Structure 1
Amino acid sequence: MTSKSSLRLPMVVSAGIHITVIVILIIGVKFETKPNLPPPSSTQALQAVMIDQKQVTAQVEKIKQQELATKREQQQRQRDLEKQATLARQEREREQQKIKELQQERVQKEKETQLAQQQAKAAQVKQQQENEKAKQAEAVRVAKEAERKVAEEAVAKAQQKQKEQEVAAKKAEAERKQKEEAAAKKAEAERKQKEEAAKKAEAERKKQLEAERKRKADEAARLAQEQQMQDALAAEQASLSQTRNRQVMSEVDRFTSMIKATIQRNLAVNDSMRGKSCTVYLRLANDGFVTASKTVGGDPQVCRATEAAINKAGRLPVSSQADVYNKMKEINLTVQPEFQ
């Protein structure tokens, strides 16, 4: 994190420097003192503008390449610093882990030493032949104590190495701050130069603002005219759509009546059905073939007769017009037997 933040400010300063140079070059080209010559023709003026523009473009491209090279160099330097920081951190973690393991080993050895001492004390009350075992235990304790001292020396060396790494890190941080201060001073000097150039360009900027204001006004008038034309077209299309919708619904009603009439012609009725009805759901193919039918509700006897009439008809009237067919390809019909 420290290496990234240390590079961010130089990168911002570098970008500001390059932008300043570009602005100065453009202004320098525009405000270059010209000799008192007769007014050039329109063709000569156009050629002069094209030449100046090419020079500016070439200079801008050169600056872009320099900036790209500087950016790549800074990115490489940042990657190197990050790599060094990662290696240092990993080394420090390994040392800390080693210290932890040595400390655990020392604790374990101390426990073993205490156990040996207890055994030595217990051996004092035993017979003479147990004294030899106590001496052996003491020898083991002495050896482990020597190992503990070796471990403590290793811990001390690891701590010393860690302190040296911390000193090196502080030194690198001090160098980074010095570089940042130098870059800040340089940026301040360039900022002052930029302010001077900005004052010279203020008159030109006001002129360009006025031209832009006039262009926007003309553009607004053109857009308003286009919007009026679009609104008129939309109103006309809406009117046509409403007319067609009325025609479609009229055709739907007509074909619905024809479907009911077809079912009535095939409906077997008797007096017990008088005043009763049945509602059915129909799904129709585009040729009128009944692909599905289902009773929704009503008198069971009328519903059975209606299902039989639909199956007998096989096909029902449908419109050949797509928008009409789409409105009635799935419909619910209420069938009520008719009596002469």
Structure 2
Amino acid sequence: MQPKHVLPLVLLIPLFLVACTTSQTGNWKSDKSATSKAGDLPGDLQAGPNADIAGYAQAIKDAIENRIYDPGMYAGTVCTVRIRIQRDGTLNNATTEGGDPALCQATLAAIKSAKIPPAPDERTWQLFKNATLDFKP
């Protein structure tokens, strides 16, 4: 990995960690806290070219979470998943890298049935084409 790509990836790690958790109310589908917490990161991920990155992260999160059946069953568990996608959003591969076996199985099934949208631009796709996601319902 080239050094110029390290900073954007470092900025995305907290976004993924926040984006893959539930709100205090436990409602996955209408939780807007993930995008509001992006302002806590260095710089403003909601402005300029970074808005595409934050928006795409949210779109991936929504596409996958909408396919997880009864996320409340997995409260207190974690699953780390690596996804590899094409520029048009087509899933090449999804593998677990650790975590609760039941949540990981549900997450993989959700990813495989999710309709991941195409990346808005080449730069955004480069950041997400081989991404690690932590799911924490």
Aligning the two structures, in what range does the TM-score lie when normalised by the shorter sequence?
Answer: 0.5 to 0.7
Shift of residue 271 of structure 1? Answer: 4.5
CA contact (8 A) 2:80 2:96 kept: yes
Q: CA RMSD, aligned part only?
A: 1.8
- Which amino acid counterpart does residue 320 of structure 1 have in structure 2? P
Task: Identify which of 76, 79, 82 aligns with 1:278.
Answer: 79
Residues in 1 aligned to 2:126 and 2:49: alpha-carbon distance in whole angstroms: 10
Q: For the pair shown, which has the larger CA radius of gyration, 1 or 2?
A: 1
Give the unaligned 5+ runs of structure 1: 1-245
- For 2:116, the equivalent position in structure 1 comes to 316
Q: Are residues 283 and 247 of structure 1, via their aligned partners in 2, closer, same or farther at CA, if it must alter by over 3 Å?
A: farther
Cα distance in 1 for residues equivalent to 2:76 and 2:53: 26
Structure-1 residue corresponding to 2:131:
331
> Greater helix percent: which structure?
1
What is the CA–CA distance in structure 2 between the aligned matches of 1:277 and 1:294, rounded to whole Å? 14
| Larger strand fraction of residues | 2
TM (norm. structure 2) is 0.59
- Measured against aligned partners, the alpha-carbon deviations of 1:281-339 in whole angstroms (never above 9, x if no partner) come to 011111101001111121111100000001111x31232311221121111111223xx
* Alignment match, 2:90: 289
Structure of greater relative contact order (alpha carbons < 8 Å, 6+ residues apart): 2
Q: Does 1:269 align with 2:70?
A: yes
Tell me the residue number matched to 1:231.
Answer: none
Deviations 1:221-266 (A, max 9, x none): xxxxxxxxxxxxxxxxxxxxxxxxx734332122111111111110
- Tell me the number of residue pairs that the alignment of Structure 1 and Structure 2 aligns: 91
TM-score where L is the length of structure 1: 0.25
Q: Where does structure 2 lack aligned partners over 5 or more consecutive residues?
A: 1-46
